[in-house]
Structure formats: structure tokens, C-alpha cells
Amino acid sequence: MSIPASSRQSAPASVPRLSPRARRTLSSLGWGVLSIGLFAGIWEALWALGLVNPLLLPPPHMFLSDLGRTLTFFDHEARRIGSQGSGGAIAGLLTTIGWTSFRVIVGLGLGFVAGVGVGAMIHYVRLFRNLVQPLILLLAPISPVAWLPVAIFVFGVGDVPAIFLVFITVFFMIVLATVSQISSVPKNYLHVARIMGATERQTFWRVILPAILPSLFMTLRLNLFAAWMVVLIAESVGVGIGLGQITSMARATFNAKLVFFTMVIIGVLGFSFDWALRKVQQKMLWWIQPGQGGI
């Protein structure tokens, strides 16, 4: 993985006079490559010195070089038929990644929207608040993983329990953040809205929501990694195609190469998701300076 990154870095280095921004990007890229390279290097060195067992901890060059074979495990057609797949392997990998990402995205999206909705209801509707808030406070601290059996009892085996777990991971956090943020919207913003004659509805959509969105997004991002963890756990108990299911199969068959390869994929995906969410955040919350408000 470090190889394409370093070659990318050397190309713009020949261009004289970079903008400060480009230089910053390059430098952080450089440190990233160095950091990962160092880690991989030590691992390789330990292997070369015979200090780690390549069957249990195969160094990067081993689990990355044997790609052709490793990828076949992602090729569902091939696996089902029992022959060595050809060409379908990459497609298989992408399908697997796609399914896992799909569950994360749908779960996050639903959890965010439902969380904001329920949070707003708690704020505005007294009866709802009295009825629901205690329940939310009670359920929020329960680890999402503890919901797994419930999810499977209720939804059976399939996509839904995995999506449900991701949903649960963000939902309660967003509800709590929404409730607390709504009550800390600056009073003067609300005063301006009232003086201008805004209705409750207009005030919510045009003042309260934009005012609380930055911290809700922050909450979402903080819970992104947790969402990734639960989706893998949910997949490992048999949802069908997915990265979690590959890891659990790899563990069951003592396939260390496959384990590490999948770990790399999961790491890269988690990183990309965080990056993408940050970009969405910058687009949607255009009024917040980078570096401010956690962007």
C-alpha cells in the first residue's frame, strides 16, 4: 500500500513553488507514508530475523503479494462453485466492500435523521418528552453489540440487523446531542427569528437546525468508527456478503494472510469514510472555517 503512495508523492516534488496548501498536503502525506512504512518495516525486519511466525503474523509483503489467491475468497461465485475464479475476484472484493459500506451508510443516514427527529420531538412536545426521554436515557448507555441478539431475534438473519446495529450506534448519541444542542442555541438567534415574524416551523428549519448541525455532525463523526466495528460484528454472525463475514471465515480457517489483508481493507475504508464525511461536513457547513468547530 505504501508503494503507490510514495510514487505519487515524488511526482509533484519536481514542480517548483507549491502553494502552502499543497505543501501542507504533501507534508502530511509524507508523514503518513513514513509512519505506515516504519510500522511495516519493523514487521518485515522481525520476520527476516525469524522472530515472528509467518503463519500467524505474515508480514505485509506476504499477505499483499499473494493477492490472486487471497482475492478468490471474496469471489462468491467461485467459492460457491468450488473452482478457482478468474476475473470475478476483483469484482468480488468490490461487491464485498460495497455491501459493508452500504450497511454503514444506510445505518448512519437513518440514525442521523431519526435521531434529529426524535431529539426535536423531545424538545418540542412535552408529552413525548415525558414519555420517551427516560427510556432514551436508559437505553443510550447499552453497547450496540448488546443489541445484536435482539436484532437477530426481531429481524432474522440478513441486511436488516446489521443496518439496525449501525443505526442504534448513532441514533441515541444524535438524540442526546440534539436535545442538548437545541437548548443551547443562542437566545438572540431565536429573538431575531421571533422579531422577524418566523413561525415555529421556520425557526426550526432556518435557525435551530443550522445552528446545531455542526455539533451533530461532530457527533456523527465521533461515532463513525463505532459504526464500523458493529457492522463487522453483525456481518460475522452471518448476514451474507460482507467484510465481517470474510474475517470470521478467515479466522475459522486459520488463514492469517486473509485476516491481515481484510484488516488493511477495513482500515483503508474506515479512513476513507472519515475523510468523505469530513468533506461532506465542509460542503454542508460551509460557514465554518477549517480547524474551527472540529472540521
Partner 1 sequence: MARPALSLRNVGKVWSPEGRQTVEALRDFSLDVEPGEFVVFLGPSGCGKSTLLYMIAGLEETTSGVIEQDGMVVTEPSAERGLIFQDASLFPWLTIADNVAFGLSVQGVLPQKRKEQAESILRSVGLSDMLDKKPDELSGGMRQRAACARALAMRPKVLMMDEPFAALDVQTRAKMQDFLLQIWQDSKASIILVTHSIDEAVSLADRVVVFTARPGRVKTIVPIDLPRPRMSRDPRYHEYRDMFADLLADEVDRAFAEQEAR
Binding site for partner 1 (CB under 8 A): 186, 188-189, 191-198, 202, 206-207, 210-211, 213, 285, 287-289
Q: What are phi and psi of 68, to 5 degrees?
A: -50, -50
Give the gyration radius of the chain's Cα atoms: 23
Amino acid, single-letter form, for residue 18: L
Q: How many residues are listed for the chain in this entry?
A: 295
Contacts of 46 (CB under 8 A, 6+ apart): 52, 59
Amino acid, single-letter form, for residue 81: I
Distance CA 282, CA 75 (A): 37
Amino acid, single-letter form, for residue 185: V
Q: Which is nearer to partner 1, 40 or 295 (CB)?
A: 295
CB of 195 to partner 1, least distance (A): 5
CB of 198 to partner 1, least distance (A): 5
CB of 119 to partner 1, least distance (A): 19
Q: Which is nearer to partner 1, 132 or 288 (CB)?
A: 288
Q: Which is nearer to partner 1, 13 or 284 (CB)?
A: 284
CB of 189 to partner 1, least distance (A): 6
- Of 275, 279, 282, the closest CA to residue 29 belongs to 275
Q: Which is nearer to partner 1, 156 or 291 (CB)?
A: 291
- Of 112, 110, 111, 105, the closest CA to residue 216 belongs to 112
Q: Which is nearer to partner 1, 38 or 196 (CB)?
A: 196
Q: Are 59 and 43 in contact, with CB atoms under 8 Å apart?
A: yes
CB of 185 to partner 1, least distance (A): 11
